Amino acid sequence: MMVTPKTSKDDYLMIHMIAVRAAKEMGVSLMNFEMDLERVHVCGNPLRLQEMLEDRGADFIHDVAGITQHMNRSTGQLTDGFSPRFSV
């Protein structure tokens, strides 16, 4: 079982807001995407969360779809060379 490092309260709130938006706009599972986004952010691929939340273009769609498709939930890592556009 993978242990996910803790997320700061501010980061978690932003991750939640991003996940809510992704669920509304793209139909992803709120709970699954929230967990996936947190894993990406704290397991080696930190994200510029504020910029991701505010983006209204293709970069948001790219990252949500890519994270959903390329998340290895056993390791918390992204697969197939996928790199979010909002990576730090």
> How many Cβ atoms sit within 10 Å of the Cβ of residue 25?
12
pTM of the entire predicted model: 0.91
DSSP for 18-60? HHHHHHHHH---HHHHHHHHHHHHHTT--B-HHHHHH--SHHH
Per-residue pLDDT tens digits of the chain, which is 88 residues long: 454 567 889 999 999 999 999 999 999 999 999 999 999 999 889 999 999 999 999 999 999 999 999 999 888 889 999 999 999 9
Which pairs from 31-37 meet CB under 8 Å and 24+ separation?
A: 32/68, 33/64, 33/67, 33/68, 36/67, 36/68, 36/71, 36/73, 37/67
